[in-house]
Homo-oligomer: A and B are copies of this chain.
């Protein structure tokens, strides 16, 4: 913890590993760094695969790094629920970013439980926050529930589309419109970019009327570095917006609630994993054969959980 707070990179990497993998003592580590958190601003970047999120994130990191600001990147890769993953990101990208001072990138693999992923991402971001980053860019692959849960622990959410993302209705259905504060239409040299930007503007019109934030829609060509400065500007503006009128404490209170739920869900998941070769195996057999319905079975599991001493926990200490 001392080395971490003294900004030693190796201590940071080690602390992140401890927290991400829920190694022995991770909760104590988090409790120790927690009072030092709160100064980093968490920007979530999400959107469909292939939208160019990584390129945009790299562009933002280069932009802020050039201004002497510290940027941490967390690439959350909801790969397979079976194999775990998240290796690709590092390999493809480290070349570009490793040359930049004060930029740190870390990929995170998922571990099958969506609450667990969001909780672990949040915890890793807390460690990086305590280390002293000015900006934390939290990038996800894909557009599903797990990404929405990860976005829910961010202060500001940017969603990246490409003209090929499909028509406005499909974009709306993906549920991204309602969680985002800034919209990017990337690869804007392709046909349909202007139309998509217009559609997105229409889709957020009601929110603009209702709230004081204007939900900007930016067009970009991240590979040609076009639009990156503009996006950075909008993110700085959103940070300033939240910083006024006590908005940020309210946002972080909501995040705390989400965080609590994610941790509790992670504990239930871990408990079931622990018991699955024992009595739970017999119980699932009874459900599968139609002798017991799952809601009654859940009552039984819950009673066992209550009867247990202490709390179920994912800690190994």
**A49-B166, A49-B174 as given contacts; A260 in contact with B289, CB under 8 Å:** no
Interface of A is mostly: helix
Interface residues of A in 143-166 (CB under 8 A from B): 143-149, 164, 166
Interface residues of A in 264-317 (CB under 8 A from B): 264-265, 267-269, 272, 276, 280, 283-285, 287-299, 301-303, 305-306, 311-312
Give CA–CA (A143, B80) in the complex, Å.
Answer: 12
Are the CB atoms of B257 and A276 closer together than 8 Å?
A: yes
Are the CB atoms of B38 and A79 closer together than 8 Å?
A: no
Interface-lining segment among A1-9, A27-35, A97-105 = A27-35
Interface residues of A in 75-115 (CB under 8 A from B): 77-83, 85, 88, 110, 114-115
- A308 (CB) vs chain B CBs: closest residue: B306
**Shortest 3 CB-CB contacts between residues of A and residues of B:** A144-B144, A145-B146, A256-B287
Q: Does A67 contact B (CB under 8 A)?
A: no
Q: Does A201 contact B (CB under 8 A)?
A: no
**A142-B143, A144-B78 as given contacts; A253 in contact with B290, CB under 8 Å:** no
Give CA–CA (A144, B27) in the complex, Å.
Answer: 29
**A34-B293, A81-B148, A256-B288 as given contacts; A302 in contact with B267, CB under 8 Å:** yes
Are the CB atoms of A178 and B38 closer together than 8 Å?
A: no
Copies of this protein in the complex: 2
Are the CB atoms of A178 and B81 closer together than 8 Å?
A: yes
- Closest CB of chain B to A293's CB: distance in Å? 4
**A146-B145, A173-B49, A175-B81 as given contacts; A272 in contact with B299, CB under 8 Å:** no
- Closest CB of chain B to A172's CB: distance in Å? 8
* Choice from B85, B114, B252, B311 contacting A288 with Cβ under 8 Å: B252
Q: Beyond the given A31-B296, A81-B148, could you list 4 further A-B residue pairs with CB under 8 A, ordered by the A residue number?
A: A144-B146, A249-B288, A256-B297, A305-B306
* Choice from B38, B50, B78, B170 contacting A166 with Cβ under 8 Å: B50
- A314 (CB) vs chain B CBs: closest residue: B295
